[in-house]
């Protein structure tokens, strides 16, 4: 866990950041512009998901949200004393479709910021765009182009898409930092793209492994055909996988994440601002302190909350569809 002082008496957390921008890195106009675009895309995703998603897929959305939240707690080391973690946008998009994927990623990112102070509130729109929208659209767009091809071809393309999704999100973050006047473009792009090129390899390997497992055990989950929904066995298996990942989360790498490393090296780390409140900051339950148990309990809380939130959203969309069909 990384706690970094930026002004006297103020602390902010960069645990699990990778591309979670904290408040202070972007200026107000860019933050608001990102919010406006994010809201428009989320509204579109909700409308399309309301039309496309079968209500029997609702548990799958909850399980996928829980797994991605848990997986983002596991930082893996890359070269140069830097770490990264799964973003999960491609995984969500190829299993849930682009609109369900965007909604799942939005729920994950929102809960991370609101409950765990991971990523800023003012810049949450930018984080949703970068990690939730761009990754899902890149992933699904490439996957859809080979959806009728062999499993080997699809897995290869998914790996490429996962790597490109990290690069796309890193590029968007770089442009936002530049437009905010935080760092010159010719400095931030090489720094961000080089470190995230390595992190993207981890994203690709994890995504391909997860999708290959799903293809082998529950191929009906994939977006190759209209899916009737996942069976109870898949739901239980997904929940167990998420719990296992949470239990392993204290073993995550303590090295700085991609954005944190760049911010430290480029000298704008001190711009980060602390959250206006704390609930479970830095994935640490206050009364348990900075202990492995505290991290596990925090992760369990996050998994449960994000799963419940996305299931409630999916059911609300289903109710609207039912009312519209009357």
Please determine, for residue 12, whether its predicted confidence score (pLDDT) is greater than 80: no
Mean pLDDT taken over the chain: 86
> 272-325 pLDDT, tens per residue?
998 899 999 989 999 898 899 999 999 999 999 999 999 999 988 888 776 766
Closest CA to 45 of 323, 239, 310: 310
> 138-193 pLDDT, tens per residue?
999 999 999 888 999 999 999 999 999 999 999 999 999 999 999 999 999 999 99
Instruction: List, in sequence order, every residue forming a beta bridge with 3; answer none if it has no partner.
Output: 13
CATH for the stretch 3-324? 1.10.1760.20
Q: Residue 195 — left, alpha, or beta (φ > 0 → left; ψ -120 to 50 → alpha)?
A: alpha
pTM, entire model: 0.89
> 241-283 pLDDT, tens per residue?
888 888 988 888 877 788 988 999 899 999 999 889 999 998 9
Residue with tokens 């904290």: 22
For position 319, what pLDDT does the model report?
A: 80
C-alpha dihedral sign at 127, 93, 102, 229: negative
Contact between 203 and 84 (Cβ < 8 Å)? yes
Tell me the C-alpha distance between 139 and 157, whole Å: 9
For position 9, what pLDDT does the model report?
A: 32
For position 163, what pLDDT does the model report?
A: 97
Per residue in 53-67, is it b (16+ CB within 10 Å) or e — as a string?
A: beeebbbbbbbbbbb
For position 15, what pLDDT does the model report?
A: 45
For position 209, what pLDDT does the model report?
A: 94
Reduced to 3 states (helix: H, G, I; strand: E, B; else coil), residue 77 is: strand
DSSP assignment string, 168-223: HHHHHHHHHHHHTTSS-HHHHHHHHHHHHHHHHHHHHHHHHHHHHHHHHH-GGGST
> Looking at per-residue confidence, does 237 or 112 come out higher?
112
DSSP 8-class letter at 129: I
Closest CA to 266 of 185, 172, 198: 185
Please determine, for residue 227, whether its predicted confidence score (pLDDT) is greater than 90: no
Least confident of 10-24, 99-113, 172-186, 284-298: 10-24
Total length of the chain = 326
Tell me the C-alpha distance between 285 and 305, whole Å: 15
Please determine, for residue 10, whether its predicted confidence score (pLDDT) is greater than 50: no
**Residues whose CB is less than 8 angstroms from the CB of residue 77 and which lie 6 or more positions away in sequence, other chains included:** 83, 253, 255
For position 258, what pLDDT does the model report?
A: 84
Q: How do 10-13 and 3-7 pair as beta strands?
A: antiparallel
């Amino acid at each position: 866990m990384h706690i970094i002082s930026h002004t006297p008496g103020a602390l902010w957390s960069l645990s699990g950041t990778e591309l979670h921008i904290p408040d202070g890195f972007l200026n107000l106009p860019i933050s608001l512009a990102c919010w406006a675009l994010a809201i428009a895309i989320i509204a579109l995703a909700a409308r399309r998901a309301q039309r496309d998603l079968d209500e029997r897929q609702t548990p799958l959305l909850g399980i996928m949200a829980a797994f991605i939240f848990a997986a983002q707690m596991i930082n893996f080391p890359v070269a140069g004393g830097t770490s990264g973690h799964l973003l999960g946008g491609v995984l969500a998009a190829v299993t849930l479709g682009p609109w369900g994927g965007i909604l799942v990623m939005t729920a994950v990112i929102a809960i991370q910021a609101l409950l765990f102070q991971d990523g800023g509130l003012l810049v949450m729109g930018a984080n949703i765009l970068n990690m939730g929208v761009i990754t899902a659209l890149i992933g699904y767009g490439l996957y859809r182009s080979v959806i009728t091809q062999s499993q080997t071809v699809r897995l290869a393309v998914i790996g490429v898409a996962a790597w490109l999704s990290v690069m796309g999100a890193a590029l968007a973050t770089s442009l936002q930092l530049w437009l905010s006047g935080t760092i010159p473009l010719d400095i931030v792009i090489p720094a961000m793209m080089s470190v995230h090129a390595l992190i993207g390899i981890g994203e690709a390997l994890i995504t391909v492994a997860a999708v290959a497992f799903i293809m082998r055990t529950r191929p009906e989950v994939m977006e190759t055909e209209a899916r009737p929904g996942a069976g109870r066995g898949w739901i239980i298996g997904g929940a167990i996988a998420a719990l296992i990942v949470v239990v392993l989360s204290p073993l995550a790498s303590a090295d700085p994440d991609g954005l944190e490393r760049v911010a430290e090296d480029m000298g704008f780390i001190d711009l980060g601002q602390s959250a206006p409140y704390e609930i479970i900051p830095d994935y640490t339950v206050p009364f348990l302190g900075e202990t492995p148990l505290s991290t596990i309990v925090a992760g369990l809380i996050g998994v449960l909350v994000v799963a419940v939130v996305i299931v409630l959203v999916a059911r609300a969309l289903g109710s609207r569809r039912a009312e519209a069909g009357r």
